[in-house]
Amino acid sequence: MREQVNEIKISYHETPTPLSHPKITSSSDAVAVLFSHWEKGTIGLRESFKIVLLNNSNGVKGIFEISNGGITGTLVDLRILFAVILKSLTVGIILAHNHPSGTLKASSPDVEITKKIQRAASFFDIKLLDHIILAPDGSYYSFADEGII
């Protein structure tokens, strides 16, 4: 009797007509793109973690939501994060999450996960350009602007 295993399919599909890829040149550019794609009804309710996928010219290929959590945190599974990055042949990323409380300060776990992702990304020659914390009022905190990345 022959054992059977699952077939794994990996795919990434761009739209048939290429959309414009907004170019990220600063944290404010990234924030504008993120706020335009963040669900306004939940940004002050629960924490979410997303990644902005970038091409070699820092053009936005897409935004992917990694997780939704509770009021004070969300879980980031690095295997899921890197599966998305590698499937989409992404060369640069920007991490983003929101603080429903509006607090614009990076917590110790925020800094730790950022450093962990940065180390892992370096093995694949993927650039981590920033990690942005969004507040419901439109303000933000940039790890790159603060010299953490």
Over residues 73-121, the pLDDT tens digits come to 888 999 999 999 999 999 999 999 999 999 999 999 999 999 999 999 9
| Structural contact between residues 134 and 43, judged by C-beta atoms closer than 8 angstroms | yes
Highest mean pLDDT among 2-11, 27-36, 65-74: 27-36
Query: pLDDT band at residue 39, thresholds of 50, 70 and 90?
Result: confident
pLDDT, mean of residues 57-64: 94
**Residue for token digits 């607090």?**
103
pLDDT of 133 over the 80 cut = yes
Please give the pLDDT value at position 56: 95
For the chain, percent of residues with pLDDT exceeding 90: 74
| Beta strands 92-98 and 127-134, pairing class | parallel
Domains, the chain, ordered by start = 27-142 (3.40.140.10)
Residue 54, Cβ density class (10 Å: 0-12 exposed, 13-18 middle, ≥19 buried): buried
Query: pLDDT band at residue 42, thresholds of 50, 70 and 90?
Result: confident
| Structural contact between residues 99 and 80, judged by C-beta atoms closer than 8 angstroms | no
pTM attached to this predicted model:
0.87
Residue 119, Cβ density class (10 Å: 0-12 exposed, 13-18 middle, ≥19 buried): exposed
pLDDT, mean of residues 38-61: 92
Helix (H, G, I), strand (E, B) or coil at 27: helix
Could you report the per-residue pLDDT of 8-34, keeping only the tens digit for each?
Answer: 666 666 665 555 678 999 999 999 999
Please give the pLDDT value at position 72: 82
Which amino acid is located at 133 in the chain? I
Query: pLDDT band at residue 40, thresholds of 50, 70 and 90?
Result: confident
Measured CA to CA, the distance from residue 13 to residue 8 in angstroms comes to 16
